[in-house]
Chains A and B, each alone.
Chain A
Amino acid sequence: MLRSVLDAGRDRLRRGDLGSLPVAVGIVLIAIVFSSLNDRFLSAENLTNLALQMAATGTIALGIILVLLLGEIDLSAGSVSGLSAVAMTLLYVQQGWNVVLAVLGALITGGVIGLIHGLMRTKLAMPSFVVTLAGLIGWQGLMLYLLGDDGTINLPFDRGVAQLSDTWLPAWLGWLLVVLLWAGHLASTLVTRQMRVAARLAVQAPVWIVVRSAALGLLLAVAVVVLNSDRGVPLTLVIFGGLVVGLDLVLRRTVWGRRMYAVGGNAEASRRAGINVTSVRIMAFVGASMLAAVGGILAASRLAAVNQSSGGSDILLNAIAAAVIGGTSLFGGRGRAYAALLGILVIQSITNGMLLLNVDSSVRFMVTGAVLAIAVAIDSLARRGAADGLR
């Protein structure tokens, strides 16, 4: 029984499929290092702040994963997040739209931008690097134009979008969420297993289910205990987490997701198999820009304002780095939605820990860069080792 678990693990290692193991080890190392340097790092308050800091860039990283899966790139995600947030703010504050409609307007702005990128990539056959580089510059220009001379528009603190970042689930609701997630995961695992048994297909050893379910439950429980001991589970974390789980299900369980991986793995083979490669590509760009818009709204909510640096500085690079550190391949076809969560956790932990230590941002950039390089190096080495082993 245990043997089959080990066999499965060994098979994956031989294929160079390290999964989330390196990132998980990295997160533990980061936690050990920073908590030994500053005992506030692992405090409930700081971890809650960390959760708040992650949501916006993490959501943008989710969108980046969509295009990376196709072997494409989106350099415009930061600018699009800023522009969409400004669009939302203008509709909400200046035009007096209902908050839901304003948010919807921002999402549509993102969607239309993604559609333009997708059409340029597919119909004009422009490399996505150039398309989205033009977007990076152009959409930021449009955002500055919309902001006008003031350069800053505040969101009302006490209602609407700004409240998103200041809403905390009551303790009981946090626990209910954990129980539902855990039970949902276990139930779907058991039902799938039952169906596979009925279809006489190979199933995992029961011990594997117990181990995984227990690990998931423990992880969720620890998170909610920590968050509840401060202000509670932040709503923005629920939104980000919901997007991660939702996108993971879409990518792994739907026809559309399967075709994303197929086109990313071998576009020519997909085309010959009758898959509409053009529409898959366009959808990926639309999804990426819409997730960037959501990220922009979350960022604006946290700041309770939009300004000239919305969606600027290192947001884009952190989002791409998060996707890659989390295990998404730059060459397409490999990666999961959870990469955004794990990757942004690494990057934001480093940033957060360095700020606690009052380290200059020069050092922070160098460390983040080194972590990105190490993450990709580990993946490359595992892959090369696997390729040699198969020969």
Chain B
Amino acid sequence: MKRRVELKNTQREIYYFRLRLVLSLGFVLVMLFTLLARFVYLQVVKHGHYQTMAENNRISVVPIVPNRGLILDRNGVVLAHNYSGYTLEITPSKAGDLEATIDRLAQLVEIQPKHRKRFRKLLAESHNFETLPIRNRLSDEEVARFAAQSYRFTGVEIKARLFREYPYNEQTSHLIGYIGRINESDIQQLDENETAANYRGSDYIGKTGIEQSYESELHGTTGIEQVEVDTGGRGVRVLSRTPPKSGNNLVLTLDARLQEIAEQAFGNYRGALVAIDPSNGEVLAFVSRPGYDPNLFIDGIDEDSWNELNNSPDVPLNNRALRGQYPLGSTIKPFMALAGLYYNKRSPSHTISDPGYYTLPGSSHQYRDWKKGGHGSVDLFKSIVVSCDTYYYGLATELGIDNMFNFLSQFGFGKKTGIDLEGEVAGLLPSQEWKQKRYKEKWYGGDTVSAGIGQGYNLVTPMQLAFATAVLANDGVGYRPHLVRQVQHSGSNEAPVPEAKPEFTVALNPEHLALVKRAMVAVTQPGGTAAQAGAGAPYAFAGKTGTAQVVAMKQGEKYDASLLSERNRDHAWFIAFAPADKPKIALAVLAENGGHGGSTAAPIARKVLDYYLLGKVPKPLPTVNAAEETEDD
């Protein structure tokens, strides 16, 4: 009985279900019929209209690429600009036999093997219907010659275009960076930021440096022109036009002349220099040597130049100032001294007796001072002036790594400075926790000893060390370092300089600061480690030398530069700020394999300070290196 009822129910249910299914089918048919009607409307009724739009009188939306913003230094010197020129471009899909076409073109304009190579590379990366440049920067004569013969070439045309140029070449390469042709991964990036529409028609995008970091400011807004186009793709008339908006000009904090002088001061040394105005974080000079010619990259670098740059042992493509990580050596000492005073582990008058080495309690291992036999009786002031290692071995042990970490990280060690360039690295300020994580090993007393003189695990970038120096120079008040001073919006000439706001303040006792600063001034005076470089400076020149080991010395072995190959010699550091009582500039210099900070890095700093504070231009060629002439070709 019960079963029969259920059966009946099910049948009724199925009946209703099928009814609804039939209704659904009806719905589907109606909707598909609607689509069909739409197709008939588009493809039969309005076919003529769309046919015309597609074939004869295609209204095409033509993007008008905006002019890229200029990059200027703080005094208005142009560091990146655009100039108009002619380029010979091929549309592969229209040109037919490409090799034959290029061969025939070669009879009219100069086409070198490297141009062909680059064209093939672009072809491999491109879509079929793009036009690709075979030659840039045609001379007027070449333009005229091709124009007369252009009827012989289908799919080849001369285009007037704006080219980017970096007049300072190598000198600003790591800072300004370069633009290059938009590639597959750039397109993905643009899609993700939903900015692809604004890049319709653009061929270039910032790849490194300021050009990359400030791409959104520099690019501008693409304009639109609705054009009636005939079958051949030639514009017949303009229907409407929304003009493009040029990219914004960037005024940098950089002083181009200072940059140039800093570059030259390096002579043949590889290395980096960053100079900052401590009162507001403006970066005045940003050098990484060697540089490269950024102009080579704009239209795709040719293979030979690329291999040369990429395989050079000098790694010119490496941005040392931003991404080079080195032990900071004795330049840590002023900061360590402040830590010792802060934690009450040292008083200004506390004196140690330096036998030339330090041993941990209960150990025989000798941590040697750089000076054999030691510095005798040393107080805090003297420990900075003569760069006494023994003093800081003991101080580090008493402070302990935790205090060191906490204190030093306030100055930005182990952290990115937040400069407005992409790709900055954080360096390394070691801590117990870090070592446990990285090496699965506990922190040893010996680790603290070497950390006390900036060796061991410590790593800094020149950018970081310059920043830390600026914070010290500015009495603990830190401003975020930045390279762009003003953004000049297109159309308006003046842009306010945004007022710098301090990012943080390190709590320091003014007396402690005054003592350490006085000691740093004494570094550049007779008896100090940079006395030679400081000789005759008419301003209060505060500095500290440092040496970063490249090869570790064995116990009892003596460092002798002459015995080591050039690449294994120590890196030379120098940090400085001046005038010491009211600093206008703070900097860090690194000379790779330069040996002593006092003899190689400090003179570079002196030249930079002399120019910046006194307007003094060094004599044409410093005597550091005789091979300088090769730089100027």
Partners in one complex: no
Residues of A within 8 A of B (CB): none
Residues of B within 8 A of A (CB): none
